[in-house]
Structure 1
Amino acid sequence: MILPLCSGGPDESAIGDPVNVLLTEWARQCRKQGGLVVLPHFPNPRLENAATLILEEADAIELYPGSDAYRGIDPYSLSDWYRYLNNGYLVPAVAGTDKQAARYAGRAVGAIRTYAKIPDHQEFSYQTWMDAVRTGHTFATYGPLMDFKVEGKPMGSRISMTSSGGKIDISWQVASVIIPMTSIQLIVNGEIREARALKPDQDAGMWSVRISKSSWVALLVRAKYDDKDEIIAAHSSPVMIDVEGSEFFAATDALTILEQIEGALAYIETIGTRAEEKRHKEMRLVLQSAYRRLHNRMHKMGFDHAHSVGTHHSEHD
């Protein structure tokens, strides 16, 4: 069992309870017991997710569905996920309806689902399914099914290219019986590179795009019920393309992530009810290690930035 079961105050715990465990520490307990670590209703809670992802203690993130079945995958959830992909953190996408949310008609069990592709030579089991999620052979969907390959490799793969980059061939197939599809988009580093209209029930296609720097690519499918607005109905996990001599790095996104870790540090220092001193120091060390890892990488990439009062250091004087 992963303990404590809850912590941090009235949203998830008892009023006045101290902050005595971090998401990162829960994640480490889970992995030690052979479990799969998924950050739910991403990006909330915003502050702690950052440290867990920078320390690479999460196996996947849950694309947030919102409270309405007709709202689709929340673009807000996607935008924060893209920050990590832009900086080279391959975090697979999964989906879920959240444990408390059965009271919402929009979050009926299975309203948004995770599909994970188990290799053909492996039998179906909980372990092989978890392994497929960890490797990113996944997509999250309100209905449309997809198959997506880059240079013949599935979602979650890494592809290496020489420093000159080059063209990559992308193939895809999609089908839906629940909600009519409207369009498909190829997302490259968080931006739409290619797009086209879809037949409502099934379609297939190919693209060839040039890559000049390290990039990630993924598929996004839009769909629409006749009497509702168009929604983001499905999204694949990415394929990461490593171009020699070009490191994944997006300065603005990295700074936003760093500020979230700063916020977590500030919270346990000022607002959160303190745990006993030894426990408080242990949690602070976890957050500081995540902060230093990302901060040092930003300096290595030559990115200068402002600091909060609590994290200022002489290099910026």
Structure 2
Amino acid sequence: MKRTLFFLARLFSFLVILAFASCSSSSDEDTSPIIPPIPPPPVSPEDFPFSDLGSGRLLYESEGETFGGLVLADINRKTIAKFSLEGISTDYQISPDGELVTYSAKIDLINHEYGIFVCSNTGKNARRLIPTNKSGFNPGWTPDGSKIIFWSQVGTSASEYTLNSINKDGTNLTLLSGEKTNLMFSVPSVSSSGTMAFSTNQGYGNPINSAGIYLFNPSNQKLERIIPLESGKFYESPAFSPDGSKIAYLRITRPDGEYKLIEVMIWNINTKTSTILVAVNASGTKEYNFPDPGNQVNLAWSSDGSKIIFNVPEGDLTSHLYVVNSNGSNLKKITNGTKTTDFKVSWGR
């Protein structure tokens, strides 16, 4: 009976789309980017398209009418697990080996301070890593999974930050950036050589005065803007490919607060040029922004570098996951929950 109802529902949807297309054939020419055909997404977690994802474990946040928390998709075992963490937490990143999760959680509700935590990939054994007198947010892993790189608020100003590292067991807290900045940077991505990439959409600050994507070398303290921000665009989530030859990032078109287009961009380390990998139309003005707004769109590489997963806003309080091959082929929609925000995705082995 369920199969019959599902077939009838799909048939009805096809007839509606066919009728709409015939009525719209005389409309003005569509000048939006050409989007590759995308097969229908799964209708439930049980139908998650594991075969389209290769291997590894995906972690993402899902906020909707029936569930709010984290989803762990084990591609190798073809299983889905959902869990929630205590308190107010955000910025989740699965470790390269897929076994641990680092995140930031509020430790001071009055002053809105965060701490850096780590737990198992099922949400168990959560523990705070950094001292009680130090804040932390936007954590990311080193490629070998031994350290966590994070931003920390310092001094008496609410907008002075430094870049730090700490071992995953909470030892060896180290200051990486010798100079403070008052710019809010994204989760740092670390290459195998130790170079770090992050972005800011703020147009002013110390020690830099322009928005864009930056590289930072802790060994010589060199901070370099490699991609200036274009007018009318936002950049999010720069991430090194596993071999370190490329940086993928998202270029977002969002005039007057309304999402229009999400483009996956690839910056080549050798040629120092950016190209569009794929573009997906976006929509909506209202985002799920608890506990804090920002970083609502991001991407992640698969551990073998063959795929990139990212989320696209598709209506108010709605965002879905997409995956594409690293050569730009085979774009697939992975999630499709109604009034559900699937975002903050990361990919481990």
Q: Same fold (TM over 0.5)?
A: no
RCO greater where, 1 or 2, for CA within 8 Å and sep 6 or more?
A: 1
Structure (1/2) with the larger helix percentage:
1
What TM-score, normalized by structure 2, do the two folds share?
A: 0.27
